[in-house]
Amino acid sequence: MKAVAWHGKRDVRVEEVPDPGIRKPDDVILRVTSSGVCGSDLHLYEVMTPYLNEGNVLGHEPMGIVEEVGPEVSSVAPGDRVVVPFNISCGSCWMCSQGLHSQCETTQNREHGTGASLFGYTTLYGEVPGGQAEYLRVPYGNTLPIKVPEGPPDDRFLFLSDVLPTAWQGVEYADVPDGGTLLVLGLGPIGEMATRIAQHRGHRVLAVDLVSDRLERARSHGVEVYDLREHEKDLVEVVRQATDGRGPDSVLDAVGMEAHGAPIAKAMQQAAGYLPEAIQRKLMETASVDRLHALHLAIELVRRGGTISISGVYGGMADPLPLRVLFDKQVQIRMGQANVLRWVPEIMPLLLDGDPLRTDSFASHHLPLSEAPSAYEQFQKKEDGSFKVVLQP
């Protein structure tokens, strides 16, 4: 089959790889019909290279049609239409029973001290072949695949794999009070979807970005937007003036480790990418520093006694944090990989009832799988209005 394979920094290729097969009695083989390219995939494209091996198949946002099932699978059958969560969870361990599917005790990667395995995402998270491919092996076939109805286009349900539950959890963790204000940092796919979810819940929503088309997209549905290019020096003051002098009740950081405005950390990330792999890994495991501009901005912006929710991925092990400020302001912080299956029952009714989150029109580009290399490059450079790319095998 054809799949998107990683071959080095900024080097992904579509090539022939072995077809997946049934390996355990509860496996499912999926014929992929759509697969998203995620902002987290760009971390693999640029920063997380020490934890990838040449030929790794990428992608963690797939949906499609069940092609084959193992002998113990009874929840889905060939021909069923399903979405696959990005985190691989058994659904029956203690962590899963607590709604913490991203910490699944069955698929935790204890040798690396990390949580549940992920499709298409580095040796740290199981090195499991991903879904930017024609076919995908899905374990835990009785609990992991999410059945969806026929009829609406793939895009209505595809984002249940990652974008919707990640944004939903981000807003949930932000703990915005009734009548309160949420400020979203970063209007990529997660940040943009978070603004829609927060508006659906009745919150006042502010957002910050520096890409014109992303700012306009959010402004078009009533978000109060701030262009960082215009307010880099006075953003905190301007936002406080708009929020009774206090700042927003909650801030959602949807940017993560590759934030604009951290040139030293950026240079360190880029320089590390040219070191031997063993040295890269040692640096990232003991001295890695993220580009923390967005997180520091969140700490400045949030009101005293407010909440910061972190959905953007951070990978550093030596990130300096202003703990004195956090303590003094009595700020609460919640974060983590989305627990996809925890949120599906709350999100699914919205997808079956008029699409109020407008998922049908969420993607900016639909491209054949063969164009994945150029799709990655455009998405990273934010060219041609590239906002959310869906690959179709």
- For residue 277, is pLDDT > 80? no
Confidence (pLDDT) at 278 = 55
176 DSSP 8-state letter: P
Confidence (pLDDT) at 267 = 46
11 and 137 assigned to the same domain = yes
Query: 215-243: per-residue pLDDT in tens?
Result: 999 999 999 999 999 998 999 999 999 99
Confidence (pLDDT) at 111 = 92
Point out the least confidently predicted range of 196-200, 292-296, 304-308: 292-296
Confidence (pLDDT) at 289 = 54
**8 Å CB contact between 319 and 293:** no
Is the model more confident about 116 or about 279? Answer: 116
What CATH number does residue 214 fall under?
3.40.50.720
Q: How many whole angstroms separate alpha carbon 47 and alpha carbon 30?
A: 30
Strand partners, 207: 184, 225
- For residue 262, is pLDDT > 50? no
Tell me which H or E stretch contains 157: helix 154-158
Query: 295-330: per-residue pLDDT in tens?
Result: 999 999 999 999 999 998 876 666 778 889 998 999
Strand partners, 291: 258
What CATH number does residue 22 fall under?
3.90.180.10
Q: How many whole angstroms separate alpha carbon 140 and alpha carbon 147?
A: 14
Rg (CA), the chain: 20
69 and 133 assigned to the same domain = yes
101 and 197 assigned to the same domain = no
- According to DSSP, the β-strands at 307-310 and 332-335 are parallel
Token code pair at residue 290: 């993220």
What is the percent of the chain where pLDDT is above 70? Answer: 90
- For residue 44, is pLDDT > 80? yes
315 and 298 assigned to the same domain = yes
The distance of Cα 125 from the centroid of its chain, to the nearest Å, equals 15
Strand partners, 133: 3
- Band (pLDDT 50/70/90 cuts) for residue 256 is confident
- For residue 273, is pLDDT > 70? no
Work out the average pLDDT over 53-67. Answer: 97
Token code pair at residue 274: 């040219």
Provide the number of structural domains found in the chain.
2
CA dihedral sign, ordered 87, 38, 300, 221:
negative
147 and 49 assigned to the same domain = yes
Q: How many whole angstroms separate alpha carbon 87 and alpha carbon 102?
A: 6
16 and 152 assigned to the same domain = yes
Confidence (pLDDT) at 353 = 85
Residue 391's region, left for phi above 0, alpha for psi from -120 to 50, else beta, is: beta
Residue corresponding to tokens 């209007």: 187
330 and 355 assigned to the same domain = no
Confidence (pLDDT) at 232 = 87
Residue that terminates a domain, selected from 317, 335, 353: 335
312 DSSP 8-state letter: S
CA distances from 97 to 26, 182, 195, 348 (A): 19, 30, 29, 20
Residues in the chain: 393
Angle at 375 (CA atoms; ends 130, 378), nearest 5 degrees? 135
Angle at 205 (CA atoms; ends 203, 209), nearest 5 degrees? 160
Query: 76-120: per-residue pLDDT in tens?
Result: 999 999 999 999 999 999 999 999 999 999 999 999 999 999 999
Is the model more confident about 110 or about 289? Answer: 110
**8 Å CB contact between 147 and 77:** no
Q: By residue range, what is the domain housing residue 155?
A: 2-162+339-392
Query: 164-189: per-residue pLDDT in tens?
Result: 999 999 999 999 999 999 999 999 99
Query: 7-37: per-residue pLDDT in tens?
Result: 999 999 999 999 999 999 999 999 999 999 9
6 and 153 assigned to the same domain = yes
Confidence (pLDDT) at 161 = 98
143 and 94 assigned to the same domain = yes
Is the model more confident about 4 or about 50? Answer: 4
- For residue 389, is pLDDT > 90? yes
Residue that terminates a domain, selected from 335, 351, 377: 335
- For residue 261, is pLDDT > 60? no
pTM for the complete prediction? Answer: 0.91
Those residues whose C-beta lies under 8 Å from the C-beta of residue 127, and which sit 6 or more positions away, are 53, 56
190 and 325 assigned to the same domain = yes
82 and 158 assigned to the same domain = yes
93 and 143 assigned to the same domain = yes
Confidence (pLDDT) at 268 = 46
Q: What are phi and psi of 65, to 5 degrees?
A: -115, 130
**Burial of 89 from C-beta contacts in 10 A (0-12 / 13-18 / 19+):** buried
